[in-house]
Structure 1
């Protein structure tokens, strides 16, 4: 009965009219011309597709490599032994593998970290979210928090972050089955929200469900504005039409019914979109201190650049300025992270099968603020 009802609902959605118009127009993105107020340094090189990173209060840097390793940088040096290496049924095929990572807010005491990875069960591909526990320079799986997220060789999403509300947010792709992004009974094509123990928050928009927003194609970045607390995400479009969205609980972001500048009643159009060019936006962060305080930074894969976006805090749907930095200077950028000291970190992904590896790739690059 549930499946028949869902088919009827999806058929109705697809039959509604779509309007193509200029949704939420934004300033045209321009290369930044000012002198860079940061010093560029290479923190680590010869890495194997680093995907996500987080920084502990003791200064250690934890990051994932897509083939299945969690690595650690301590006192500025990359430790030779990984914190953990994932065996089968873990897989690293296409865009799948060990993707997102975030440390628990109380990591100094409980030593919990959370990861998102792809695996196979027979011939079926899934993703899941694990809680790991670190001890004595190693980590073990402590608990499976969320399982059977539909997966594929493409469109796995994979970003995980802990929100200002101390909930775990998870981005999932449509697993190359676009229509299931509209199915609220599926975990694919969504932004999910769970408690840190894997239970469902009572205040989620759909009772008993981890679904926070839906209608996403392949979201790979999430970040909260430090002043307003508003959640934003980055999303890969189909053949260009990449998006930056303001995320609202329970909202439908349209895929595959609408994308880019298209609009439809009951569906959200993007705050900013790439038009006929391709950014392939991935990790993102708001800068909380230093020369770029208040700016939204977005790592671009196909665009081979870092976007710097200025939003109006009093009008959260208004983009004041959009600039691009480091155009093809480092190649494909997967993630951007801010440390508590204001240092910014960029992860390159030139060895992910879609880039052109350069000497020393892949790298973690840091931008150190230049003191006035």
Structure 2
């Protein structure tokens, strides 16, 4: 009997020692993560940090999707249901500047990206992307608009017949530093289209502002710039190095193991692997992600920050997370800032699903919620747009 008791006590001691070691390592890891998450909290330990505050800008919105500043006191934004609205001199316009009647707003699709011409305000051109129905098939169209200040008018169709679906429809628009228009497209839930160079689905496209195909595109006569994408919804360029970034949604069980959301460095002509590889899997001739998020956070945008108002965020990459319900920043390193050194979910941003994030001309950080998109918990006043400003 004594031997049994001694053996039992010995077992408890051994498990206790190993349990203590495991718990110590776990807590150390947790502490490390929490420390990195708190580097940019309002109470800053670094004297070069600028504490910030979050202010409500507009509320009562219908799934705000894309935001673009036309001046420091005016921005426009799309609502997925089909409207483009204006916030000017501290006031939200009651009337929409434009309602696109042929928008098919279904599930994730609808009126999406919004961008201004590099020559704005001289050109007064804006660009938007939206889903429409073509004989029962959902597709995406890119149109150029004319900004008449009090209203917007459609100027011309830039590109259409982009395969789409109620899910995986893209569709972020951004002008690159060289003045070309980049468009993200989803795989339209047809995975194999992402590897088909002749399809516009599952790609990042590159066009001239008038819709023509640049002569220096990687594939002759094609708008395709990179391929093998599942559903990228954010693109940005580092203001210092010009490195191009993209955020991309990973598999959702029905088309692969859940998780695997990506931060990618985009290269001309690059193959990003979908659906042949995902998560941390690699294959020769394909570009691996710079960062993978599992479980999924659902990155829905991208913004490379200048550091104008917040030096602690200089050249960091920001994105809004839908499933991750927050605003994330990616800390970059390397000669061209093409490697991920770490990431942080801003602890003060506890507002539900976050979609777009942009920088104002003066350096403030604006972001939108997406709680009325059918997948979030709606809070009073949703959806909303907020801004982050110095708390001096």
Provide the TM-score with structure 1 as the length reference: 0.89
| Deviation at residue 283 of structure 1 after TM alignment | 0.9
Which residues in structure 2 correspond to 1:265-276 (within 5 Å)? 265-275=284-294
Consecutive unaligned residues of structure 1, counting only runs of 5 or more, are 1-26
Of the three residues 317, 334, 340, the one matched with 2:361 is 340
**Which of the pair is proportionally richer in strand?**
1
Retained in 2: the 8 A contact 1:28–1:322? no
Matches within 5 A, 1:195-344: 195-238=208-251, 239-275=258-294, 277-288=295-306, 289-291=308-310, 292-314=313-335, 316-326=337-347, 329-344=350-365
Query: For residues 70 and 156 of structure 2, what CA distance do their matches in structure 1 show?
Result: 21
* Separation in structure 2 between the aligned mates of residue 197 and residue 127 of structure 1, nearest angstrom: 17
Distance in 1 of aligned mates of 2:119 and 2:239: 20
- Deviation of 1:315 after TM superposition, in Å, equals 5.1
Query: What SS is found at the alignment partner of 1:229?
Result: coil
Query: Aligned residue for 1:15?
Result: none
Report matched runs for 1:139-158 at 5 Å.
139-158=152-171
Cα offset, 1:110, TM superposition? 2.0
The whole-number CA distance in structure 1 between the counterparts of 2:282 and 2:221 is 30
SS of the residue 2:71 aligns to: coil
Asked if 2 retains the 8 angstrom alpha-carbon contact of 1:304 and 1:327, the reply is no
| Structure 1 residue 290, shift from structure 2 partner | 2.2
| Residues 1:163 and 2:176 aligned together | yes
Which of the two has greater helix per residue? 2
Name the structure 1 match of 2:144. Answer: 131
Contact 1:287 1:297 in 2 (8 A): yes
Among candidates 37, 40, 63, match of residue 77 of structure 2: 63
Q: 1:41 aligns with which of 55, 66, 70?
A: 55
For 2:363 and 2:106, the matched residues in 1 are separated by 35
Query: Which structure is higher in RCO with an 8 Å CA cutoff and minimum separation 6?
Result: 1
CA contact (8 A) 2:271 2:286 kept: yes
Partners of 1:306 and 1:333 within 8 A in 2: yes
TM-score (norm 2): 0.85
Question: In angstroms, what is the RMSD of aligned CA positions?
Answer: 1.5
- Point out where structure 2 has 5 or more consecutive residues left out of the alignment: 1-31, 43-50, 252-257
The alpha carbon displacement at 1:40 in A equals 1.0
C-alpha contact (below 8 Å) 2:237/2:304 kept by paired residues = yes
Q: Report the number of matched residues.
A: 343
- Report 1:161-200 matches (<5 A): 161-200=174-213
The Cα shift of 1:75 comes to 0.6
1:32 aligned partner: 38
